[in-house]
Amino acid sequence: MTLLQHDVIDFTLQAYQNDAIRTVRKADLLGHWSVLFFYPADFSFVCPTELEDLADHYDAFKQAGCEIYSVSCDTQWTHKAWHDANEKIGKIAFPMLADPTGALARDLDTYDEHTGLAERGDFIIDPEGRVVAYEVTSSNVGRDAAEILRRVKASQFVYEHTDQVCPAKWEPGDKTIKPSLDLVGEL
């Protein structure tokens, strides 16, 4: 089963952001691009390296019109404690969603029923709330924020230019491909 074009469930979760607890709903994802960035747990080992990388790229995501939402099955209180205790996590300005029941993790098939944790999954969500790209990796392999940002920009381009596709390693400004019969076997 693929999650491409999957419409994210209507959710309401608590989040820690900028020294405050706030509510985030599916409606907050609509009208702009989003990345739902699932990770196993606060106070863990690979997770702070990934979240610091996202924090370091956050301005670039915002410039691309994309909000980042990190998500784990921890509570908003645990997110705050981790943010206060860890220098890497202290850099985070994006919402840290609390999914303690695993509802959102289950919807996007990242929930591990045996551990009660989310697997590492990043989901690029279009302005209508649909998954347009995703990757799920083993819990012991970290991800690269620059590559996720590149995929966001490529997804945005093909969303706006439905007659074109982006080749491998495409960056904004690079040539795209306009699929046609005369290109078959030529690339």
Residues recognised as catalytic: 47
End-to-end C-alpha distance for the chain, whole angstroms:
30
Beta bridge partners of 79: none
Q: How far apart are CA 74 and CA 58, in angstroms?
A: 22
The CA-atom distances, in angstroms, between 30 and each of 15, 24, 33, 41, 114 are 17, 12, 8, 26, 32
Neighbours of 26 (CB within 10 A): 16
Q: How far apart are CA 79 and CA 151, in angstroms?
A: 27
Q: Which two tokens stand for residue 48?
A: 């702070």
Residue in 163, 113, 129 with CA at minimum distance from that of residue 3: 129
